[in-house]
Structure 1
Amino acid sequence: MNSKNILTASVTINQKIDLVWKIWNEPEDIAKWNAPSDEWINKKIENNLVVGGGFLYAMVKKDGSENFDFGGVYTEIITYQSIAYTLDDGRKTKITFTGSEPVILTEVFEPVANLDLNMQQNFCQTGLNQLKAYAEQL
């Protein structure tokens, strides 16, 4: 990753690492927390968590006015520690899981070049905050 164009978001989740890992990776859990706001839903979620495997989150606004696909291929997986992937557009992301309870989840990612950096940072942080809220109510 080009370090001058990197964004980072992080959250501390008061749950055990095995639950946080599951919530991050299982489609039925992802559907419950992975949306930029209440206006969006996951139309389709696929996740093949193996190196060389892919993932796809097909997002759509509830009113049907906007949609996008977020997908890529896993390049590194260390269970309960880290996940790295390359998005379909070539950008790279790494997620680290630090600690066993609580867990600090940190996402470091290359932003889209022509989109507002603060918007992208907030988008990512909102997702992590929603993950935290979902995990901590279980």
Structure 2
Amino acid sequence: MNHLQPIKVETLIDAPVEKVWTFWTQPQHLTEWTFASSDWHVPYAENDLKVDGKFKTTMAAKDGSMQFDFEGIYGVVDAHKRIAYQLADGRQVDITFEEINGQTKVTEVFDPENQNPIEMQKEGWQSILNNFKKYAEEHAW
């Protein structure tokens, strides 16, 4: 296992936690925001949101040049508060949802992988989180 420090990304979303949770966890929403840039998309998502449940999101370049599955198994599911899971490669991810005056702070802490620079990984995950914020704010009201 790698011994690198976990990476943290976060955002504040102008939407109530119940809506944010729905957009984060339901497959029909996952396909709309789970990519870092507009030249990628998510053609497939499944999510069995329970402890020991599995999820899989297929991320693909729109030009067909590349695709991969982002998948894992849930260890913690605490509705509207926290999700923790282990990715297929063994890395851990912990996500918290905190309601603050009608807005929702989403914080993700994840173990980095060994292939790409830490800053690149942080930027990629932050881009996806920013995409989520945009999607959630556009659809919450």
2: distance between equivalents of 1:16 and 1:71? 27
* 1:59 alignment partner AA: M
Instruction: Quote the residue 1:17 is aligned against.
Output: 17
Residue 92 of structure 1 corresponds to 92
Partner of 1:116: 117
Please give the per-residue CA displacement for 1:25-48, whole angstroms capped at 9, x wherever unaligned. 011111111111111111210100
> Partners in 1 of 2:3 and 2:96 — Cα distance?
17
Question: What letter corresponds to residue 130 of structure 2 in structure 1?
Answer: N
For structure 2, the residue ranges without an aligned partner over 5 or more in a row are none
What CA deviation, in whole Å up to 9, does each residue of 1:103-131 have, x standing for no partner? 00000000102211111101110111111
TM-score (norm 1): 0.95
In the alignment, what sits opposite 2:138? 137
Which piece of structure 1 moves more, 111-120 or 47-56? 111-120
Look up the match of 2:83. Answer: 83
Matching of residue 68 in structure 1 with residue 43 in structure 2: no
Unaligned runs of 5+ in 1: none
CA distance in 1, matches of 2:136, 2:50: 23
1:103 matched residue in structure 2:
104
- The whole-number CA distance in structure 2 between the counterparts of 1:135 and 1:42 is 16
SS at match of 1:32: helix
Identity of aligned residues (%): 36
- Counterpart Cα distance in 2 of 1:117 and 1:51: 29
Q: Which position in structure 1 is the counterpart of 2:6?
A: 6
Q: Per-residue displacement from partner, 1:65-89 (whole Å, max 9, x unpaired)?
A: 1111100000001111100000000
Tell me how far 1:136 sits from its aligned partner: 0.8
Mapped partners of 2:95, 2:41: distance in 1? 22
Secondary structure of 2:116's partner?
coil
Q: CA deviation at 1:3?
A: 8.0
Runs of 4+ aligned structure 1 residues displaced above 2 Å come to: none
Cα separation, 2, equivalents of 1:137 and 1:72: 28
Aligned residues: 138
> Please, what TM-score do these two structures have when normalized by structure 2?
0.93
